[in-house]
Each structure stands twice: as C-alpha cells, then as structure tokens.
Amino acid sequence: MESVLLYRFENDEIRISIDAYFEGNCLVIDGYDHGRSVQAYWGDSDYEYVVRIPQAGIDFLFRHLSIEPGNRLALLHAMAARFNTNSCYSDIRKLMSENGITCEGFTWI
C-alpha cells in the first residue's frame, strides 16, 4: 500500500501525523495527534481521526488537482504538495462537503 505524508509536526507538547493512502476504492486520510497538549485539550493523550473519501470524491480530486484520472500515486503526491498544513484534514473534509461529496469519517479519543 502506497502512503504519503500530508503533514507532520513535532515538539515537546505534541506530535501530529496525517497520511493519505488508498484502501480498496476509498481514499483514506488518517491523522494521529499525541502529547501533553492533546491531553490538556481532550483529556486523553492521543486523538485519532479518519475520513474515507468515496470514488466520487476521488474523481473530483483528479479533476481539481489536474491529475490524470486513475493515476493514484500522482494524486497522493499532488495532495501532499497541496495540503501540507496542520489543517489539511479539515481542509479536505471542507472541500468534499463544499462540492457535495459525502464522506465517512470518525474520531477516536
């Protein structure tokens, strides 16, 4: 399974890692925050969040990012270049929502 790192940050208070990969016919954005600041905010030291983008969203992203349809690896790398921020998970969810694409997601504290 090919995976790309969308965003990573680490200091004494927090470690953040957000990855993108394909799982079957879904594009998965998978994030994990861990550390003292997570504990202070959520009451637990780690926070996980995942969204599964269906084929309609994948097709939209190919067009939106001007990637040849079907070239999954190129799409992952384009997403890493475009969404390399702390807000990438929220930004991707918002982009999907604004374009009428329903995605499955969950968080786990």
Question: Residue 10 gets which letter from DSSP?
Answer: E
- Closest C-alpha to 96, from 66, 38, 55: 55
Whether residue 40 lies inside any domain: the answer is no
Whether residue 11 lies inside any domain: the answer is yes
Phi, psi (degrees; rounded to nearest 5) at 53: -95, 125
Regarding pTM above 0.85, the answer is: yes
Whether residue 77 lies inside any domain: the answer is yes
> Domain total for the chain?
1
Whether residue 36 lies inside any domain: the answer is no
Mean pLDDT split into 10-residue runs, the chain, 109 residues? 93 96 96 92 88 98 97 97 95 97 89
pLDDT at position 91 is 96
pLDDT at position 108 is 84
Tokens of 62: 């190919």
Residue 66 to residue 52: CA distance in whole angstroms: 21
Range of the domain at 73: 1-28+51-85
Residue 14 to residue 33: CA distance in whole angstroms: 7
pLDDT at position 106 is 87
